Structure 1
Amino acid sequence: MTHAPSPASSDRFKSFSEFYPYYIHEHSNQICRRIHIVGSALVLVILATAIITRNAWWLLAMPVVGYGFAWVGHFVFEKNRPATFKYPLWSLMGDWRMFFETVSGKRRF
């Protein structure tokens, strides 16, 4: 059985490069990863819509859609607690790194 990489004794990761393997492990379920990718893509669509329509109200939908999709993936399919609750910035960075790795073909969808 493979265990998730865990933080050092301080219970915090020291760098994003140390955090990212943990982040990926927390997204082991394929459906959870797919839901994350779809949610991130929709966030980009919402951003484009806000820019094209020059309507900033669209920006309010970005965190609702992004986190909504991610949290459904975690609670329903992955059966774990999103890393966002403990590592908000690194988790956001991990979301986008995983997204770009996936759409570029470096990571399986």
Structure 2
Amino acid sequence: MEQKYTSFSDFYPYYLSEHANGTCRLLHFIGSWLVLSLVAFALITNQLVFLWLVPVIGYGFAWVGHFFYEHNKPATFQYPLYSFMGDWLMFKDILTGKVSLKN
């Protein structure tokens, strides 16, 4: 029987286990950087029309990592909010060295 997560603190270790492949984590990291850059660009230049690209870039990089490198289904399909939170916590954890980009 599949586990149901009722707290983010319980979910995050599972989230990390679904991102065991270094290339998958790298693609998530690149996608997150590009999302932040795009949002900053759109706001600074007042060209908000570019914001429609945010989910395309964010999910695009992540899903390539899952389908071609991790070979699993993204957690966002079952846990959209926790997965979104996990993306940004993993991004921070990679920046701070708590999570590695190596396998």
TM-score (ref. length: structure 1): 0.89
Identity, in percent, stands at: 54
Aligned to 1:34: 26
> Is there any run of 5+ residues in structure 1 with no aligned partner, and where?
1-5
Equivalent of 1:19 in 11, 14, 17: 11
> Is there any run of 5+ residues in structure 2 with no aligned partner, and where?
none
Q: Identify, as 1 or 2, the structure richer in helix.
A: 2
The aligned length equals 100
CA shift, 1:35, in A, is: 0.5
Report the secondary structure of 1:22's partner residue. Answer: helix
TM-score (ref. length: structure 2): 0.94
Distance in 1 separating the partners of 2:99 and 2:63: 21
Aligned to 2:46: 54
Distance in 2 separating the partners of 1:107 and 1:79: 20
Distance in 2 separating the partners of 1:57 and 1:90: 27
Task: Give the structure, 1 or 2, with the largest relative contact order (CA under 8 Å, sep 6 or more).
Answer: 2
Runs of 4+ residues over 2 Å off in structure 1: none
